[in-house]
Amino acid sequence: MRIKEHPILNFNRGKEIHFRFSGKTMIGYEGETVAAALHANGVKVLGESIEKHRPRGFYCAIGNCSSCLMEVDGVPNVKTCVTKLKEGMSVEIQKGKGELK
């Protein structure tokens, strides 16, 4: 899913970052968001709706719509479309509303 050639843009990707998503190790790049890295790895379903458990992906990608909330390193309701990927991050699909610890 990554763009390799582009007539206008050069993507100088940062260093490789390893993260985990539901038990799998995936690779992203420094500087990209969690949602973008997941998308590049073919993951579109980022969560499920609270009552009907319908699959959800991102919608606005600028931190407005709350459609991309996930559990990141144990913290629920993280806006993955604006959260930068970090080495060793663990990203999970959130069930329910999440709990404040």
Among 20, 22, 49, 86, binds other proteins (CB under 8 A): 49
Judged by CB under 8 A, does residue 5 bind other proteins?
A: yes
Judged by CB under 8 A, does residue 93 bind other proteins?
A: no
Distance of CA 7 to the CA centre of its chain: 27
Binding segment for other proteins among 1-9, 17-25, 86-94 (CB under 8 A)?
A: 1-9
Among 17, 21, 26, 36, binds other proteins (CB under 8 A): 36
Residue 39 neighbours by CB under 8 Å, 6+ apart: 1
Contact, 85 vs 28, CB < 8 A?
yes
